[in-house]
Amino acid sequence: MRYPTRLDAVPKVTGKARYAVDFAAHGMLFSALVRSERGHAILGGVDAEAALSVKGVVAVITGEDLAPLFPRYGHIVADHPILAIGKVRYLGEPVALVVAEDRYSAHDGAEAVEVLYQDLPTVMNPDQALADGAPLLHTTDYGVGDRSFSEAHSEPRSDNVCHRVDLHWGDVEQAMSRADHVVETSTSYPMLYGYAMEPYNALAHFEDGYLKVITTAQHPFMVRDDLARVFSLPLSHVRVTSPYVGGGYGTKSYTKVEPLAAVGAWYTGRPVKVEFDATGSILTTRADSARVTIRSGFSSDGRLLARDVDLILDTGAYADNGPLVLSKASNRSFGPYRNPNVRVRGRAVYTNTVPSSSYRGFGAPQVSLASELNMDQAAEVLRIDPGELRRRNLIPPGERHYPGKRPMDADLAADLDLLLEGLGWGKPTPERHGIGFGVTASDAGAFPVSTATVKILPDGSALLSTGSSEMGQGSRTALSLIASRELGIPLERVAISQSDTHATPYERTSGASRTTTLVGLAIQRACLQLLARLEEVAVELKGGPPTEVKAAEGTVVGPWGDLSYGEVVQEWFGGQLGELSATGVVRRAGDLAELPPFWEIGASGVKVRVDPDTGQVFPLRMVTVADVGHAIHPEMLKGQDVGAATQGLGAALFEELVYDGPQLVNPNLVEYRVPRAKDMPGEIVSIVAERGDGVGPYGAKGGGEGTLNPMGAATAAAVARAVGRWPDRLPLTPERVWRLMRESGR
């Protein structure tokens, strides 16, 4: 079968696709930020006089100016000031927004602002932050944000722990004492920047009593909620629109720069554009670094008896999504294995660094590095093939590995076999070559709430409306395909409007790999209702027993003959006018009562060669397996999977944000290296396993993120097999690998 090209492809290759950054408004002001030059300090004052005398500068806005508003945001804990209030908590934090008639004046004005600081001691990593007597970043309590995150808490603090998770079942200590082997693995996962290529930006203005914001956000409805609270507006009075999003990967989940643009517009009464550069974006959101120790007890025949996990995330200066990332990291830390005894102790810790939030994988890459390497190391100890060791422990389809959660909706052992075959595992490899792989399962899909509307217009064409965003994942195409298939009309006659809190129905998020499954389900439900409505209307118009009237393939067929969908609409309304519509709703009920909506499987691996002189790692072959139940569009799915694995490879080999004191050493794309074409293996194999075992349309379930999750561990294992020593941290820079080789004597 030939699948259609992407519906957004032509606009994107012609330069006509509009991203948030491409929008301007009449009378729009530009802006530039004054950022903190200190890691932790009391704000002594902001002198804006010189800046205000720069030609073109309209206003210099500081945290103090926001007193009439609710001046913070944060969907879990509302601890994040729009502009620093009283003190700064990381170097790069927004202190003042300079608004001007053009971008040059804004820049010059920002340079002229003087800020006085009284330094406070900093805590730059979790060790410092957790030490006795460590200076506290936050001492006051804040409003709790989104109450659907039930673990959220907000009290005055006596330590720098932003969030804690304690998870356990069975009796870990007792099981460890019975184990024939206990294998312990400790790893460090690097601090990352997700680098979506469209930097953070937003355009805000107040019009007709509404706050209107165009932004590069994945979840416009959640941004709306934060903005409504800032300005005490009804949710109905905030309109957030996300046009094409220039890369998301979770880095554009939740509120980022929208409040800055909005307070600029509020303060000046004119439209204000906030447009960060790449460095500004790095200083806005990063991904959590993690230190993980995992101890596993095994019987001599390789059965997993217990896992004990200790996990610390460096969540930076503000909570943002850190608590949820910790929660997810904890859920994903013990692996998709049958395991009667589990204990996880997790802490997310405030430090004087750039706040971290979600990034593709959402805690899973951080913990899987430890948990999958631990399986490999155990295999070595147990003298069992690492593929076989996993096979003996992987949770079988239909069984629960996590009490209270959905039973496994995937055949992990079959996925593993596909992966190992693709990698050529078991065949002899040349000197200095190694193969590594991993298998993960993430509780994905987020909270299952989706709404979608489908309309049939009087010419029989269909219009979908959904709050989900198109950020490259292909939602526009996949969702249109589902509607085209359900209604039986050609894809060319299906249009879609997306991500506008005024014009499209509610969507919780475009994240957690949920769109095809959950929005797809909402669209499928809307289409079914719409077909029923067409039948009902046809019966009303033409008569006949309802059981003999059937709408499908663009036509309503009854005892009286055929009517096209368009004819039904026209006859009912009496002319070339009107429309029939239906709204499909997805809630946590029925098939979706049990969370997660689906397990997102990660199965990927890599074959590498290591330069024996320099330690440089050359990936030769990369294999991904997508266990997605049903692929709505296999070509797009493979693109997602390979892209995700590539990001995993970047973290494995190159990427790391590095601090020197309070200063980020490499907040730019020259010194923070992401993978390039040259870095990619010459052989890439992307396998799609379709077993119809998902809750979504046609048995589909989410994908596009899973293949990233095992890549760190897979690459580390491949390198270990090439050099004879287990790495304990990423990225595997040439120097680190060279040191491993020296230690192993190989």
Partner 1 sequence: MGVLPAFRLHRPTTLAQALELVNDDRMPYAGGTELLLAMKEGLLRPTHLVDLKGIGSLRDVRESGSGVSIGALVTHTQAADHPIVVDRLAGLAAVLNRVGNPRVRATGTLAGNLCFAEPRSDVAAALIALGGEVEIASAEGRRAMAVEDFVIGPYTTALEQGELVTGILVPVQPDLRFAYLKHQTTERPTLGVAAAANSHCSLVVGAVGFAPQVFRSPSPSDLDPSAIADRVEVVPDLTGSEEYKRHLVEVYVRRAVAALGGRR
Partner 2 sequence: MIGLDTVEIAPRINGRETVLEVPVRMTLAEMLRDRLGLYGVKVSCEMQVCGVCTVLVDGQPVSSCTFLAADTDGRRVLTVEGLAEGDRLHPIQQAFVDRFALQCGFCTPGFIMMTKHLLERSPLPDREEIVEHFDGNLCRCTGYAPIIEAVQDAAGRLGRRGS
177 touches which of partner 2, partner 1, none (CB within 5 to 8 A by kind)?
Answer: none
Residue 114 touching partner 1 (CB under 8 A): no
DSSP class of residue 334? Answer: S
Least gap, CB of 13 to partner 1 (angstroms): 20
Structure-derived torsion over alpha carbons of residues 321, 323, 329, 332, reported in degrees to the nearest 10? -100
Residue 193 touching partner 1 (CB under 8 A): no
Residue 743 touching partner 1 (CB under 8 A): no
Which residue's CB is nearer to partner 1, number 530 or number 674? 674
Sites for partner 1 among residues 605-664 (CB under 8 A): 613-614, 616, 654, 658
Contact 563, 543 (CB under 8 A): no
- Among the listed ranges 60-68, 469-477, 550-558, 729-737, the one in contact with partner 1 (CB under 8 A) is 729-737
120 Cβ partners below 8 Å, 6+ apart? 40, 41, 42, 87, 135
Pairing between strand 210-215 and 286-287? unpaired
Sites for partner 1 among residues 282-311 (CB under 8 A): none
- Residue 189 tokens read as 């996962």
Taking Cα atoms as reference points, which of 555, 587, 665, 689 lies closest to residue 279? 665
13 touches which of partner 2, partner 1, none (CB within 5 to 8 A by kind)?
Answer: partner 2
Taking Cα atoms as reference points, which of 152, 158, 149, 148 lies closest to residue 77? 152
Residue 665 touching partner 1 (CB under 8 A): yes
The three-state secondary structure class of 625 is: strand
Sites for partner 1 among residues 694-713 (CB under 8 A): none
Residue 589 touching partner 2 (CB under 8 A): no
Residue 532 touching partner 1 (CB under 8 A): no
Contact 401, 440 (CB under 8 A): no
Q: In sequence order, what are the beta bridge partners of 213?
A: 204, 240
Residue 108 touching partner 1 (CB under 8 A): yes
Sites for partner 1 among residues 542-601 (CB under 8 A): none
245 touches which of partner 2, partner 1, none (CB within 5 to 8 A by kind)?
Answer: partner 2
- Residue 595 tokens read as 């969370």
Alpha carbon distance 570, 305 (integer Å):
66
Taking CB under 8 A as the criterion, the residue among 255, 268, 640, 715 binding partner 2 is: 640
Q: In sequence order, what are the beta bridge partners of 586?
A: 450
DSSP class of residue 20? Answer: G
Least gap, CB of 667 to partner 2 (angstroms): 11
Least gap, CB of 705 to partner 2 (angstroms): 13
Tell me which amino acid residue 336 is. Answer: P
131 touches which of partner 2, partner 1, none (CB within 5 to 8 A by kind)?
Answer: none
658 touches which of partner 2, partner 1, none (CB within 5 to 8 A by kind)?
Answer: partner 1
- Among the listed ranges 182-190, 449-457, 588-596, 631-639, the one in contact with partner 2 (CB under 8 A) is 631-639
Contact 372, 387 (CB under 8 A): no
Residue entry with tokens 């076989």: 388
Least gap, CB of 501 to partner 2 (angstroms): 21
Alpha carbon distance 489, 145 (integer Å):
43
Taking CB under 8 A as the criterion, the residue among 199, 434, 436, 619 binding partner 2 is: 199
DSSP class of residue 516? Answer: I
Taking Cα atoms as reference points, which of 697, 662, 744 lies closest to residue 93? 662
First to last CA, the chain: 50
Taking CB under 8 A as the criterion, the residue among 167, 388, 733, 746 binding partner 1 is: 733
Residue 682 touching partner 2 (CB under 8 A): yes
Taking Cα atoms as reference points, which of 505, 534, 503, 533 lies closest to residue 518? 505
Least gap, CB of 635 to partner 2 (angstroms): 5
Prior bond of 634 cis (ω within 30°): no
601 touches which of partner 1, partner 2, none (CB within 5 to 8 A by kind)?
Answer: none
The three-state secondary structure class of 458 is: coil
- Among the listed ranges 400-408, 411-419, 420-428, 670-678, the one in contact with partner 2 (CB under 8 A) is 670-678
Alpha carbon distance 551, 529 (integer Å):
11
Alpha carbon distance 699, 693 (integer Å):
5
Measured in whole angstroms, how far is the alpha carbon of residue 505 from the centre of its chain? 21
Residue 290 touching partner 2 (CB under 8 A): no
- Among the listed ranges 12-20, 73-81, 125-133, 581-589, the one in contact with partner 2 (CB under 8 A) is 12-20
Least gap, CB of 539 to partner 2 (angstroms): 43
- Among the listed ranges 99-107, 559-567, 582-590, 686-694, the one in contact with partner 1 (CB under 8 A) is 99-107
DSSP class of residue 192? Answer: B
Least gap, CB of 613 to partner 1 (angstroms): 4
- Residue 527 tokens read as 């289409």
Least gap, CB of 249 to partner 2 (angstroms): 7
The three-state secondary structure class of 567 is: helix
471 touches which of partner 1, partner 2, none (CB within 5 to 8 A by kind)?
Answer: partner 2
Which residue's CB is nearer to partner 1, number 137 or number 737? 737
Contact 326, 314 (CB under 8 A): no
Least gap, CB of 201 to partner 1 (angstroms): 8
CA angle 690/475/533 to nearest 5° reads 90
CA atoms within 13 A on the CB side of 334: 31
Which residue's CB is nearer to partner 1, number 236 or number 668? 668
The three-state secondary structure class of 172 is: helix
Contact 109, 31 (CB under 8 A): no
Binding pattern to partner 2, positions 446-475, x when CB under 8 A?
-------------------------xxxx-
Size of residue set near partner 2 by CB under 8 A: 55
Taking Cα atoms as reference points, which of 589, 498, 659, 504 lies closest to residue 125? 659
Residue 284 touching partner 2 (CB under 8 A): no
Which residue's CB is nearer to partner 2, number 28 or number 161? 28
- Among the listed ranges 247-255, 271-279, 349-357, 554-562, the one in contact with partner 1 (CB under 8 A) is 271-279
Residue 195 touching partner 2 (CB under 8 A): yes
Contact 282, 664 (CB under 8 A): yes
Residues forming contacts to partner 2 in the complex (CB under 8 A) are 5-6, 8-19, 21-22, 103-104, 195-199, 244-249, 277-278, 471-474, 635-636, 639-640, 642-643, 645-647, 668-670, 674-678, 680, 682, 684
Residues forming contacts to partner 1 in the complex (CB under 8 A) are 32, 103-104, 106-108, 111, 199, 275, 277, 279, 613-614, 616, 654, 658, 665-666, 668-671, 673, 733-735, 738-739
